[in-house]
Amino acid sequence: MVLKSTSASDNSVYQVSGTNVSRSLPDWIAKKRKRSLKHDLEFQNRVELVQDFEFSEASNKIKCTPDGQYAMATGTYKPQIHLYDFANLSLKFERHTDAENVDFLILSDDWTKSVHLQNDRSIQFQNKGGLHYTTRIPKFGRSLAYNKANCDLYVGASGDELYRLNLEQGRFLNPLKLDTEGVNHVSVNETNGLLAVGVEDNVVEFWDSRARSRVAKLILENSFDTSPFQVTATSFRSDGLNFACGTSTGYSYLYDLRTSQPTIVKDQGYGFEIKKIIWLENTGAEGGSNNILTCDKRIAKIWNKNDGKAYASMEPSVDINDIEHIPGTGMFFTANEGIAMNTYYIPNLGPAPQWCSFLDSITEELEEKPSDSVYSNYRFITRDDVKKLGLAHLVGSKVLRAYMHGFFINNELYDKVALIANPNSYKDEREREIRRRIEKERESRIRTSGAVKKPQVKFNKDLADKLSQKRGDKDTENVLTDDRFKEMFEDEDFQVDEQDYDYKQLNPVKSAKETDEGAAKRIRALTAAEESDEERIALREGRGQYSDSEEEDDDKDDDGDDDSESDRKPNSNEMSEQEKKALAKKIAAAQRRERERATEAQFMNQMSVGMVSSDAQGEAFDTKVQEMRQKESQRDQNTAGVRRNHQGEAEFSYVPTKRPSSNKNNKKNIRTGSDEDTPQRDSGRSRARSQGRRAGKNAFRGM
């Protein structure tokens, strides 16, 4: 035995009985094949909670009695009424009627008194013995509602009147005249007797059952859907203040009767009319009183009335006609277009009913593993995507599963539709498939043990070390191979400059762990000689790669034949375009660094002062000491000199000497530069600066 379960959220929904597929064979063929069912594993492993919980063709309505001991359902074909006894978990009786049932109500605490609205404009009253009384109404009826306070039975029909039948007096009263024709649903507030009538327009009329007058008129507005719609379902909460209604376009409105603005508007997603709204109160679950159920023909959703958050959903494979909740429990019955009526159980919403308390212990044991997910292998698309793909006509079908502001569609179907909608994408898809197959073949090649290496870190090695210390080697390797981050460790443009001003502002102080322990674990940096050796090797390898291709061309004979070994065995030096680009980039970076070093060395040689020439590098040390002492003695003998301190200030000192008497010989010697009778340090001016100058602007005049 296996229970089917779905888990669209954290709450599991178990399908206790029913089938996911409606029976496609006629009933008379199925009866002949009953003997072969003993070999059907699915039939043997079924869970039959209530025996004969089905109809010959389909079921229309289902309701539980107020005492919770019986369930009454109507269906076709032939039109009939079934009553199920929960104490015996079986069918109690079935009755056939002349016309198909539209709606019915249970008037007593048990099943003995009920009223049925038929599609031939008749109203039948059923009791313990069978049919009690039949009456007719002028228009075709659509909905029933009963007010226990005054024993009035309200019948909504296709006209503009709401019929009133008083069961205490046994006669029709004056109908309530409406402003709009066509009553879709009628509901009564059990707390204050307020009557809500949903009509074919987007209007809900509220009537006071005591004064028999209209109290208010609520007009629904929807900014999300501008198309005309009708009110198809209404429901009051037991507190007398909250009201909910559903429309024909699949929207549910929640109101506080003290305001005309809705507290929340919920989209069912499929665009079908809302068939029923149930306030889930006293379910026994924590926070369960805040949940509400809305149902259309495709799905029944349970969500929070305050924020609209989804709680659970029930989605059979056949159309839903009606749904009923057993009060105080987590069990639901659905009347649908299939032969079998479905039973759903949600443990998180409430316990199992007392008559099937064993269900709590077998649900987890019989749950299929792994549980089926509602949206597995599906892709989410928005409403705009649906229009672009041309799938608007499939909205509401089983192909598109409504969810939030879009739909879920099967991945395989989406790929096919996308190719049809965009024929040019076939070429791109073909290229991607070829690329995937090539990559798959490359992985299957035989490689040496040293061929598979860890990703190399060319730049930002300190950052990679920090990542490995914090996250581990495995996570660091994932980061190094990730397409989003790998260029940070392969491209020099992403090198982190720790001497940059912005970096120092962001990292003003290094951690003690990095300064103390990290210094011992840091890899020793290469010296300038080692870096130059690596660059020469890289340049040599790069030239070797290209020279190999040139040598291969030289190996060919005059006849055009290639006698080299490269034809007899695969060429191991053959490189892909990506590897060539990487090698060319590496060679360009090495050449750029060599040029920078040469420029820097040339600049330092030009700026160096007092450095020892290359010719004096081979002299002995004592010779250099003697030369240095001689220079110092000459500097001491020279009284005039310029000295600079550590602040860059210059200090000039000299001893003035008196010039000898001026005579022609001395002047001549001074002018001619002869050393005869001339002092050794006499290098001053022969005349004043202002001698021979004019006060005018023309400085060259008189020269």
Amino acid at 297: K
What average pLDDT does range 74-85 have in this prediction? 93
What average pLDDT does range 300-325 have in this prediction? 91
Given this model, what pLDDT does residue 187 score? Answer: 95
193-223 per-position pLDDT tens digit: 899 999 998 899 999 988 888 999 999 987 7
Pairwise pLDDT comparison (570 vs 588), residue with the higher score: 588
pLDDT band at 522 (very low <50, low <70, confident <90, very high): very low
What average pLDDT does range 438-456 have in this prediction? 67
On the CB side of 336, how many CA atoms lie within 13 Å of its CA? Answer: 29
Which of 68-82, 340-354, 533-547, 676-690 is most confident? 68-82
What average pLDDT does range 90-119 have in this prediction? 94
150-171 per-position pLDDT tens digit: 999 999 999 899 999 999 999 9
Which of 91-95, 209-213, 446-450 is most confident? 91-95
What average pLDDT does range 528-540 have in this prediction? 59
What average pLDDT does range 6-12 have in this prediction? 71
Given this model, what pLDDT does residue 591 score? Answer: 87
- What's the burial of 405, exposed, middle or buried (CB within 10 Å: 0-12/13-18/19+)? exposed
Beta-carbon count within 10 A of 379 CB: 16
Given this model, what pLDDT does residue 236 score? Answer: 94
What six digits make up the tokens of 418?
A: 């996308």
What six digits make up the tokens of 682?
A: 């006499």
Domain ranges of the chain: 4-368, 378-424, 458-494
Pairwise pLDDT comparison (501 vs 561), residue with the higher score: 501
**Alpha helices of 166-308 — where are they, by DSSP H?**
none
What six digits make up the tokens of 338?
A: 């299939």
Q: CA 99, CA 121: separation in Å to the nearest integer?
A: 9
What six digits make up the tokens of 592?
A: 């750029």
Q: Which of 491, 485, 495 is nearest to 462 (CA)?
A: 495
Given this model, what pLDDT does residue 530 score? Answer: 58
Q: CA 434, CA 428: separation in Å to the nearest integer?
A: 10
- What's the burial of 540, exposed, middle or buried (CB within 10 Å: 0-12/13-18/19+)? exposed
Q: CA 237, CA 453: separation in Å to the nearest integer?
A: 69
Is the pLDDT at 566 greater than 60, yes or no?
no
pLDDT band at 474 (very low <50, low <70, confident <90, very high): low
pLDDT band at 664 (very low <50, low <70, confident <90, very high): very low
Percentage with pLDDT > 90 across the chain: 28
32-69 per-position pLDDT tens digit: 666 666 666 666 656 678 888 999 889 999 999 999 89
Please give the C-alpha separations between residue 389 and each of 209, 400, 405, 417, in angstroms, as whole numbers. 52, 13, 17, 7
Given this model, what pLDDT does residue 508 score? Answer: 75
480-511 per-position pLDDT tens digit: 777 777 777 777 777 888 778 788 888 776 65
Pairwise pLDDT comparison (650 vs 296), residue with the higher score: 296
Q: Which of 109, 201, 115 is nearest to 154 (CA)?
A: 115
Range of weakest confidence among 3-12, 618-627, 658-667:
658-667
Range of weakest confidence among 109-118, 174-183, 572-581:
572-581
Q: Which CATH number fits domain 4-368: 3.40.50.10490, 2.30.30.90, 1.10.1240.10, 2.130.10.10?
A: 2.130.10.10
